[in-house]
Amino acid sequence: MELKVVTKMQVSLLLLMMIALARTATAADDQALPGCPNKCGDVSIPYPFGVGVSNITGENCSFQTDLKLNCTNSTLYVYNIPVLNITLLGQLEMNFFVSAICKVNIFNGVTEANIAKLNIPSFTISSTENKFMSIGCDTYGFLESYVNDSIHSTTGCLTKCWDNLENLENMQTNDGKCAGRGCCQVDIPPGMKNIVIEANTFNNFRNSSDSNICSVSFVMKNGGYNFSVDHLKRIPFNSTPMIVDWSVGDAGCNVSKDKANYACKSDNSVCEDPPSAGGNGYLCKCKPGFEGNAYLPQGCTDFPDCKRDKHNCARAEYCHETPGSFECLCPEGMIGNATNEGGGCQPKQRSDAFTKIFIGAGVGLIALFVGASWLYLMLQKRRVLKLKEKFFQQNGGIILTQKLSTRRDSSQSTAIFSAEQLNKATNNFDENLIIGKGGYGTVFKGVLSNNQVVAIKKSKIVDVSQVEQFINEVIILSQINHRNVVKLLGCCLETEVPLLVYEFVKNGTLFDYLHKQSQVGNVSWKTRLRIGAEAAGALSYLHSAASIPIIHRDVKTANILLDDNNTAKVSDFGASRLVPQDQTEIATIVQGTFGYLDPEYMQSGQLTEKSDVYSFGVVLVELLTGEEPFSFQRAEDKRSLTFHFVCSLEEDHLFDVLQIGVEDEENKQEIMQVAILAARCLKLRGEERPSMKEVAMELEGIRLMDKHPWTNTNQNFEERQYLLSEAQSIREPGDSSGQQNITGYDSVRELQLMDFGDGR
């Protein structure tokens, strides 16, 4: 038995190889845009190529349409062509189609043929890496390149079998040779793109035996095919590996570098005009001394010459990395030329006592400076920690910790962000990133280190009562998990003002969607109805399905956000209140937004779930009319939108107050149903209003009405009569004049004179 000894050097070499492989794998994983696939099967996908859109930014994973790929069953395709390999040196290997013409009936000469085409402007057939080939007897094939539907260049070759294949054994000596007998090949001219490959036969197989039933032509990468006489009987493939040169853009470097969509993003990249592009594209490469993907912003990194032993220093320890290169330096105490050519380094002669004293004094000064600096930094660190602790207590951190510790359900955890994280995410709270302002703070758009886009709410400098509202919002949102309620991701308490981090809802508020001039004409009735139903469902969840019922207390269109698909998300819980399970109402200081406030709540100070129902009724009226709840720009009898709406409904003039473009012949009945529901929500007495659960169910039923249309035409009349009786009940008792003497309006007018302080 032979005994093998593994030395320490062998173990070290093995570890170095493993580290190198790990780094290579990491580098391969970083070739795509953030949030985009890096591989499909075994094929890496470097940017500017890409598959689909980023799951982080939502942007295309490819730089341009020609470079968009798709991954199906672990196979990568460009259009319908399988991709085998992509390099950042400007080449792509694909399995391209074979053109063939085959006999169907030898007696009547009928044949069938197919033509192979490649029409991708960014791809050019590599003239150095491929050959054009044809196989068959009495066969000729050609390769054509087109520019603007006109032939740009053509090449081809011809092959014959002199003995008609009657005795194939006579041709066995041709195996492995493609020299004109049964197989021919030819070089490909440079610059061929938008190609067509077509195979043809001289005699339409009239003189061919069953041993030669097809003539084929194809482009094959160099060394990819060895001819065999057996292939005259049957071609064993229908596609071949082919190399194409690729480029980005539609012009050369000089023209493209000043464009907004210039592809060379890395600071250490350079632009190159490849000859195959013919001035109709360019490539990006890393500068000498750098490596990586030059199409990514931070793609080119310094090549570690010293670590990879790519240097000419006399010894490895003499090598020092520099940006894009390296330098050979002698260590302290030695002099000379540290390169291989310079003879290396030699020890210095140190006999000078003054030098020793000077060095000792310098070391002492450095030690003193380092000690003083360390002491200063430690004091500064302690000061910062104490300040953070102070802010944590000032912003209600102890209250929040106590309340979270008493929660039974800890499955929904709230992330705690540091001040440094949120400063970086918002570029130190740049005012250009402000996306909204409210009564309790300002909202900034931010991007976290993992490229997640978030909304960061920075509260105003608050007193004790406002701190309680901030902590209340954290507690409430941490318990809510509903698709139509904005999600709280976390908070930060170590800054002077508290910060909340939400999911980012990019399409703004329902208020802007309804009232901004650029949006008004685009809001269809079905969209309005769906948004109303989704918001009602969220409020119903808060009232009925949450572990502890939650009263929002500030329901309005400005607090209903819209995402990419215009899905409603209820937000801003700074004024909300949790309702103890043994109570139906809470006595609070009146807060809310004028125009949406429940008159009963304003007069009594008793907050109930029906207060949210009233506010949501105002939202429904906004969806119907497109008008703001209160405006001094309107006539006096129309300043209060709810009063004007109810009057119009009572006088059977509903369709006169609707926003232009909302009503059509198909949705009149739905609009009337929603108007009736809004009037019920606006009843002055809370006990006469429906619950939010009933409102949500009715809106969903109305949405489905077009799928189950009513056939009872009398029902519309009955609903109208019911509406009139409901509106009549809003009048003051004893008033029969039919004029503007409505209790709801009088209450609103009286409330106009009240001082709401900082209430929104």
Annotated binding site: 458
**Helix and strand element counts for the chain (H, E):** 17, 38
Whole-angstrom distance, CA of residue 248 vs CA of residue 195: 19
420 and 544, same domain (yes or no): no
Whole-angstrom distance, CA of residue 57 vs CA of residue 35: 7
Establish if 239 belongs to a structural domain. Answer: yes
592 and 679, same domain (yes or no): yes
Whether this model's pTM surpasses 0.75: no
Give the per-residue SS3 of 517-566.
HHHHCCCCHHHHHHHHHHHHHHHHHHHHHCCCCEECCCCCHHHEEECCCC
643 and 748, same domain (yes or no): yes
Name the pairing type of β-strands 110-114 and 99-105: antiparallel
Phi/psi at 60 (5° precision): -60, 140
424 and 571, same domain (yes or no): no
Among candidate residues 503, 536, 561, the one where a domain is terminated: 503
543 and 608, same domain (yes or no): yes
Phi/psi at 604 (5° precision): -100, -20
Token representation of residue 417: 């962000």
Q: Mean pLDDT, to the nearest integer, of 535-550?
A: 85
Establish if 57 belongs to a structural domain. Answer: no
Closest CA to 436 of 558, 531, 519, 555: 558
Burial class (CB in 10 A: 0-12, 13-18, 19+), 364: exposed
Per residue in 155-178, pLDDT (tens digit) is 999 988 765 545 555 565 667 788
pLDDT at 561 exceeding the cut of 90: yes
Whole-angstrom distance, CA of residue 193 vs CA of residue 274: 14
- List all residues 6 or more positions away from 459 whose beta carbon is below 8 Å from its beta carbon: 440, 441, 466, 470, 497, 498, 499, 500
Identify the three-state secondary structure at position 625: helix
Token representation of residue 188: 């490909």
Identify the three-state secondary structure at position 112: strand
Supply the pLDDT for residue 544.
85
554 catalytic? Reply is yes
pLDDT grade for 519, boundaries at 50, 70 and 90? low
CA angle 387, 388, 389 (to 5 degrees): 90
Lowest pLDDT segment from 204-213, 431-440, 571-580, 747-756:
747-756
Whole-angstrom distance, CA of residue 348 vs CA of residue 446: 57
pLDDT grade for 209, boundaries at 50, 70 and 90? low
- List all residues 6 or more positions away from 638 whose beta carbon is below 8 Å from its beta carbon: 644
Per residue in 256-290, pLDDT (tens digit) is 998 999 999 888 899 999 988 888 899 999 998 89
- List all residues 6 or more positions away from 489 whose beta carbon is below 8 Å from its beta carbon: 414, 415, 454, 501, 502, 503
Whole-angstrom distance, CA of residue 118 vs CA of residue 242: 11
167 and 97, same domain (yes or no): yes
Helix (H) / strand (E) element for 86: namely: strand 81-87
End-to-end CA distance of the chain: 90
Out of 44-53, 388-397, 474-483, the most confident range is 44-53
466 and 612, same domain (yes or no): no
pLDDT at 542 exceeding the cut of 80: yes
DSSP letter for each residue of 561-615? EE-TT--EEE---TT-EE--TT-SEEE----S-TTTS-HHHHHH-EEEHHHHHHH
Q: Which domain holds residue 632?
A: 510-752
231 and 127, same domain (yes or no): yes
What percent of the chain stands above pLDDT 70? 77
Establish if 187 belongs to a structural domain. Answer: yes
586 and 454, same domain (yes or no): no
Q: Mean pLDDT, to the nearest integer, of 536-547?
A: 86
Establish if 407 belongs to a structural domain. Answer: yes
pLDDT grade for 408, boundaries at 50, 70 and 90? low
Q: Catalytic: which of 554, 572, 598, 612?
A: 554
110 and 189, same domain (yes or no): yes
- List all residues 6 or more positions away from 35 whose beta carbon is below 8 Å from its beta carbon: 54, 55, 56, 57, 61, 451
Among candidate residues 196, 217, 246, the one where a domain is terminated: 246
Token representation of residue 233: 């009987």
Whole-angstrom distance, CA of residue 614 vs CA of residue 606: 14
- Buried/exposed code over 184-214 (b: 16+ C-beta within 10 A; e: otherwise): bbbebeebbbbbbbbbbbeebbeebbebbbb
Whole-angstrom distance, CA of residue 568 vs CA of residue 616: 13
Supply the pLDDT for residue 736.
31
Contact 596, 545 (CB under 8 A): no
Per residue in 696-742, pLDDT (tens digit) is 999 999 988 755 555 444 444 455 445 444 444 433 333 333 333 33
The CATH number that applies at residue 461 is: 3.30.200.20
* Backbone region of residue 695 per phi and psi (left: phi > 0; alpha: psi in -120 to 50; beta: other values): alpha
518 and 648, same domain (yes or no): yes
Among candidate residues 188, 216, 246, the one where a domain is terminated: 246
Whole-angstrom distance, CA of residue 638 vs CA of residue 629: 10
Per residue in 566-578, pLDDT (tens digit) is 999 998 776 566 6
Number of domains in the chain: 3
Establish if 195 belongs to a structural domain. Answer: yes
The CATH number that applies at residue 553 is: 1.10.510.10
Establish if 387 belongs to a structural domain. Answer: no
Contact 573, 581 (CB under 8 A): no
Query: How many CA atoms are closer than 13 Å to the CA of 133, on its beta-carbon side?
Result: 27
Lowest pLDDT segment from 13-27, 101-115, 594-608:
13-27
678 and 549, same domain (yes or no): yes
Establish if 757 belongs to a structural domain. Answer: no
Whole-angstrom distance, CA of residue 598 vs CA of residue 195: 73
Contact 43, 76 (CB under 8 A): yes
Q: Mean pLDDT, to the nearest integer, of 539-561?
A: 86
Supply the pLDDT for residue 470.
67
Per residue in 222-264, pLDDT (tens digit) is 999 999 888 888 888 999 999 999 999 999 999 999 899 999 9
Whole-angstrom distance, CA of residue 9 vs CA of residue 580: 72
Strand order in the sheet with 75-78: 50-51, 68-72, 75-78, 81-87, 91-97, 239-246, 123-125
- List all residues 6 or more positions away from 39 whose beta carbon is below 8 Å from its beta carbon: 28, 45
Q: Mean pLDDT, to the nearest integer, of 371-393?
A: 82
Establish if 644 belongs to a structural domain. Answer: yes
- List all residues 6 or more positions away from 493 whose beta carbon is below 8 Å from its beta carbon: 391, 392, 395, 396, 397, 400, 416, 499
